[in-house]
Amino acid sequence: MPDLFTIIRPLLHALPPELAHQASLKALKCGFLPANKPATSPILSQNILGLEFKTPLGIAAGFDKNAEVVNPLLMQGFSFIEAGTVTPLPQAGNDKPRIFRLTEDNSIINRLGFNNHGLDIFVKNFSKHNKKFGIAGANIGKNRDTEDAAVDYVKGLTAIYPYADYITINISSPNTKGLRDLQKRASLSPLLAEISKAREQAINTYNKKIPIFLKISPDIDGKECENIAEAIISNGVDGLIISNTTISRPEFLKSARRSETGGLSGPPLFASSTKTLANMYKITKGKIPIIGVGGIASPEDAYIKIRAGASLIQMYTALVYQGLGLVRSINDKLPIMLERDGFKNISEAIGSDIN
């Protein structure tokens, strides 16, 4: 797989980023990419919130916004995928161009704005998920013009609930005006209370409890972390995803595109997202499962996230620069690092660097 990507990367990067992304989706849809053999090391296997993860590695929301390639992605060696973000109504997103490669920094800035085909198409596609391939989560958001955010999140949860293995509430994209305000204490608890109420109704209807994760920003301080932790615990949210993209711009960025508006992803996000992850792990005393995402570009990065408190990890931007061979590399090297440090299962390593 790495050799194939070495050949096709110049071709993909010669295209505008959105067009290259569409080409990647089409290649997966058509079966052009050969399947990767799934990882089988028992040291990576764990049960989290009633779900059996063969490895901790998943692909983050944003790659498969419309749930078009759920099964093909799972056949690339991911233990789980997260499709979306989906909004109730179709949405064009922000004006183009809206994705920028920062090649010198192996990073991306995007200001997409929840562009997607809407809930009806998403659910139709997502319902074709074959559970034998792995776990599939759905990431839900609100339409740009919706004033009462809870209405949209409840619509999303209700529609996707019969099909999803877990559901993520995305309130942290920097590219929808006012969305991140939902992380504030006065807004978050009422929102989560409505979502919790909707889940209780869905549990009664479908006789199953689907875990709910909340995806948060890396651009929050310690007090905001405490408020979020209090809100999720009091409203029965099961887990956190840390983090979304950042609006900060580290001084070491080299690319001429570094000043573009939008969310920055890739290695420059790693330090801040991992710091927020470790802080939330401390605040929640390790009792809330956390999916660590943001800047993972190597097996070593993945291991750092786990030792900082991540039960699971996700990546996306690194695939743009390294291809799907990175999936195999992480799945192969994590067991070696775990055994080197005396861990018998990955669960023993979670948060091991946090005092």
Which residues are known to be catalytic? 173
- Cα–Cα dist 59/139, whole Å: 12
Strand, coil or helix: what is 300? helix
Angle at 330 between CA 25 and CA 268, to 5 degrees: 75
| DSSP per position, 60-99 | PTTSSTTSSSHHHHHTTT-SEEEEEEE-SS-B--SPSP-E
For residue 137, the one-letter residue type is G
HSE toward the beta carbon, residue 95, CA cutoff 13 A:
1
DSSP-derived secondary structure letter, 116: B
193: amino acid identity, one letter:
A
Cβ atoms within 10 Å of 185's Cβ, excluding its own = 13
- Report residue 352: phi and psi, to 5°: -70, -15
How far apart (Å, rounded) are the C-alpha atoms in residues 111 and 98?
A: 5
Terminus-to-terminus CA distance in the chain, angstroms? 39
Euclidean distance between CA atoms 282 and 307, whole angstroms? 12
Take residue 220 and report the two structure tokens written for it: 């929050």
- Cα 93 versus chain centre, distance: 19
Query: Do residues 191 and 171 lie in contact, with contact meaning Cβ atoms separated by under 8 Å?
Result: yes
- Cβ neighbours around 85 below 10 Å, total: 25
175, 264 in Cβ contact below 8 A?
Answer: no
Nearest-angstrom CA–CA distance, 140 and 119: 9
Beta-ladder partners of 215: 170, 241
